[in-house]
Structure 1
Amino acid sequence: MIFIFFLYGLVFGSFFNLVGIRVPVGRSVMTPRSMCTACNHLLTARELIPVVSYVWQNRSCRVCCSPISPLYPFVEIITACLFAFAYAKFGFQLPLLKALTLISLLMIIFVSDIVYMLIPNKILLFFTYLFLIQWIFLPASMKMDVLLAGVMGGGLLILMAAVCKGGIGGGDIKLFILLGFVLGLKEFLVTFILSVWLGALGGLLGMMLGKVKRGQPFPFGPFIVVAALLVLFYGEFIFTFYLSLFHN
């Protein structure tokens, strides 16, 4: 069964690439068919097999030989692994549905922010509807917790944005608010702290490698994505470990 979820993840990962690349620029995810961005060659079925086609075509377009971004197979493989791991951890229970929905959102955000440094409102709004439907079936105590997390998280981040004068993007703020609503207050706080640390380390590493200049904006979304995924699977452990740092 885990292998089946892995295969589903490969297929959905390919679709998430498409959504993350098309939606931010206002293009339909239905039409036109997938094509080479360099020569507009319409891709055939055998050129659309997740990961396999990338390797088979030697990482380039079969017609014009333009290189294919490694982002495509990376997202496909990561999504496949996350889907399989979600099933292994949660089984066929309600948390699995939340996990798969959250993974889907995060992988699309990862693509859009890497490519455009943009987190589209359309994507956030669509997934908000999905999470609202799932929220209906939560116990009353959990409903209040996630609502409180969303409100407090939103207020905190809007205040930070005002103090930092644009140091955090509007899309990041909206994503954090939605994550608070999905994860709950404790997990939201862990996600926020972890993403800030990861972002700081990523920015420092980028400057050391000459990829990021001081004062130059860089996508923060991928660090939020990594932090949220870690909290989804290991939130309690991370929270306990973080508290233990202050008890020693």
Structure 2
Amino acid sequence: MQATYIPLYPIIEGLTGLLFVFAYWYFHLTPEFFVALLFISLLMIVVVSDMSYMIIPDQVLLFFFPLFIIVRYTIAPLTSVWSPLLGGIIGFLLLWSIAIASRGGMGGGDVKLFGVIGIVLGWQQVLVAFFFSCLIGAIIGIIGMLIGKVEKGQPFPFGPFIVTGTILAYFYGSSLLDWYINHWIVRLALYL
């Protein structure tokens, strides 16, 4: 069976450009816009690398890691000084626990990537990114199995799902979290 050719590089380059424009529209010329440019760049590199080679290189993560630490503690801080640090720890530990439980089903690059993502998003948004990443990965995985493109136990790159969930959390995580808390948690409290 011959693999279907997907023009990955032009698609990713076009998507990167669109995300840059969207980030400018969303943040304008604020310090967070420059964080967004760095963050989108990292995430698009991850998609290409993971889809092409099923690896997220440490060199890429090590390049971006100190940049995100610097911007989160200087020009574009989060609301709490602890949020980037807690986000990095929580992001790393969430995927590390999955890697341990799955006995190697989750790659080390995914684990380290989520640690870096946590620094950018902070502890609350990294949980939203984790939720979306798992949800999108599960949906696509089930559809892939149903149509015969993915076999049970067959490895497939999780990086693109992490990236998709992270982008959703980065731009809309606060709104979704507020909606969830106000809509579900408050209603639950009223019924108790």
**Range class of TM-score, shorter chain:** 0.7 to 0.9
Query: How far, CA to CA, are the matches of 1:238 and 1:140 in structure 2?
Result: 18
String of CA shifts for 1:72-122, please: whole Å, max 9, x gaps. Answer: 221121111100010011011111011111000000000001111110001
3-state secondary structure, aligned to 2:104:
coil
Which consecutive segments of 4 or more residues in structure 1 shift more than 4 A? 138-141
**Is residue 134 of structure 1 aligned with residue 71 of structure 2?**
yes
Aligned equivalent of 1:228, options 166, 186, 189: 166
Q: Which amino acid aligns with 1:76?
A: E
Distance 1:205 1:186, change over 3 A: same
Q: Shift of residue 150 of structure 1?
A: 1.1
Distance 2:184 2:96 in 1: 28
1:103-157 superposed Cα distances (whole Å, 9 cap, x missing partner): 0000000000111111000101101122122123155853311101112332333
The residue type equivalent to 2:28 in the other structure is G
Percent identical pairs in the alignment equals 46
Q: Write the distance in 2 (CA, Å) between the matches of 1:140 and 1:232.
A: 12
- Change in CA separation of 1:130 and 1:85 when aligned onto 2, cut-off 3 Å: same
One-letter amino acid of the structure 2 residue matched with residue 238 of structure 1: L
**TM-score (structure 1 length as normaliser):** 0.68
> Aligned ranges for residues 13-162 of structure 1 at < 5 Å?
69-137=6-74, 138-139=76-77, 142-162=80-100
Q: Give how far 1:69 is off.
A: 4.6
Largest Rg, 1 or 2 = 1
Partner Cα separation in structure 2 for residue 115 and residue 225 of structure 1:
15
Q: 1:222 to 1:240 in 2, by over 3 A?
A: same
Q: 5 Å matches for 1:182-221?
A: 182-221=120-159
Query: Which amino acid in 1 is paired with 2:58?
Result: N
Q: Which amino acid aligns with 1:180?
A: G
Question: Aligned pairs, how many?
Answer: 182
Secondary structure at the aligned position of 1:132 is classed as: helix
- Report if the CA contact (8 A) 2:50-2:159 is conserved: yes
The alpha-carbon distance between structure 1 residues 140 and 189, as it changes in their structure 2 partners (threshold 3 A), is closer
Unaligned 5+ segments in structure 1 are 1-67
User: Cα RMSD between the aligned structures?
Assistant: 2.0
Q: Deviation digits for residues 150-203 of structure 1, max 9, x if unmatched?
A: 123323332232222222211110011111111101100000011001000010
Q: Structure 2 regions of 5+ residues with no counterpart?
A: none
